[in-house]
Amino acid sequence: MTLQASHIYRRELATGTLTVTTDSDIELESLFDIAERRNPKRAFLFVSKVLGRHIPVAPHLMQQRYAELAAKIPVDLPGPVLFIGMAETAVGLAAGVFREASKTIDAPVLLTSTRHPVDGELLCEFKENHSHATDHLIYKPQDPQLRERMLQARTLVLIDDEATTGNTFYNLLQALQAAGLDRLSKVVTVTLTDWSQDSLTTRCALPVEVVALVKGGWQWAPRPDAPLPEMPAVNVTARGDVPISRRQDWGRLGMLESQAALGAALTTERGEKILVLGSGEFVWQPFLLAERLEQAQADVRFGSLTRSPIAQGMAIASAITFTDNYGLGMPNFVYNVAHQRFDRVIVCVETPIDSVCPTLLRELANVAPRVEVVSYA
């Protein structure tokens, strides 16, 4: 296939050159930019402009992408249909796509992987080999009906922000089948961008359908003399010293539908410029809050605290470093916030309010005169 110049995307990084090719008509720069990982396993990172993770995004724009992806998923999938979202980056994306797709799909259930052990029955574990945090856990749903749907699932819908090689999806599929999900007859992968070039399709014995806003390929040309980056100690899958909310109704222990239950007492006024920040995997309830405030005529952006270590520069205009709110003593980050200004910042956590690092609150006070913490505990 001969690609037009407009379909070739190339970025020079300190450690090498990344080239992306696609025949999509979507302007690639509208979906993502590139940054450098602080991770010796993979030097580059696709930073989404529509995900609401490392770049704050208006909730209605995120919802548009949820709806676009959901519309590409076939409605006649054999049910029950098990949706799985990948922690931490794609937890919110998975919930948003699930909210739309479950309106027309037979017997759906959503699970999300996690790196935070909770009180529940473990289904399986799998590896994301290139990641800054390799180990994922999948729990069985608490609700008996949803658990039965999971066990009897005939279609598996795997959701991540992007697919680079397809290896993580393959690792998860193998783990699920080994755990007893032996009725699966079809797999659907859903990503914003898919650069894996049908890698899962060639390795999977089941039929695979690939859903993405953009598909293409990538090439990485490393610089032989480039020093390897040092990664902070974020490869942790463990319980911390701080308790997590028992309200696990948004993915880790199964979800069918969810109501906006976080920050119900918060109000706004037309034009108030608000930044709502989820925290790590806890992003769906914060997104629903951000969506509600936007519908009340506030000017809202949504982003998230994260453990993902990214170098400042290129897609990362600013970074704040602080300690996680789970009591793991692990560095966390919030990107592309420190250089902006808001009327109010709302930090949303699934841990107690006093678990939020004072350093983060001090830095956010330079961003907005009003900083609030809302807990789902």
Per-residue pLDDT for the chain (377 aa), expressed as one digit of tens each?
Answer: 334 444 788 999 988 999 999 988 888 889 999 999 887 778 889 999 999 999 999 999 999 999 999 999 999 999 999 999 999 999 999 999 999 999 999 899 999 999 999 999 999 999 775 455 568 999 999 999 999 999 999 999 999 999 988 889 999 999 999 999 999 999 999 999 999 998 899 999 999 999 999 999 989 998 888 887 777 878 788 899 999 999 999 999 999 988 899 999 999 999 999 999 999 999 999 999 999 999 999 999 999 999 999 999 999 999 999 999 999 999 999 999 999 999 999 999 999 999 999 999 999 999 999 999 999 98
Beta carbons of 263 and 346 less than 8 angstroms apart: yes
Listed residue (82, 101, 98, 100) closest to 90, CA to CA: 98
Burial class (CB in 10 A: 0-12, 13-18, 19+), 251: buried
Which letter, b or e, does each residue of 11-32 get, where b requires 16 or more Cβ atoms within 10 Å of its Cβ?
Answer: bebebbebebbbeeeeebeebb
- pLDDT score recorded for residue 4: 45
SS3 72: helix
pTM for the model stands at 0.94
Structure tokens at 328: 């793991």
Cis peptide leading into residue 291 (ω within 30°): no
Nearest-angstrom CA–CA distance, 66 and 358: 34
Beta carbons of 138 and 123 less than 8 angstroms apart: yes
Listed residue (109, 189, 187) closest to 146, CA to CA: 109
- pLDDT score recorded for residue 226: 84
- pLDDT score recorded for residue 131: 56
- pLDDT score recorded for residue 281: 97
Nearest-angstrom CA–CA distance, 264 and 284: 15
Beta carbons of 349 and 375 less than 8 angstroms apart: yes
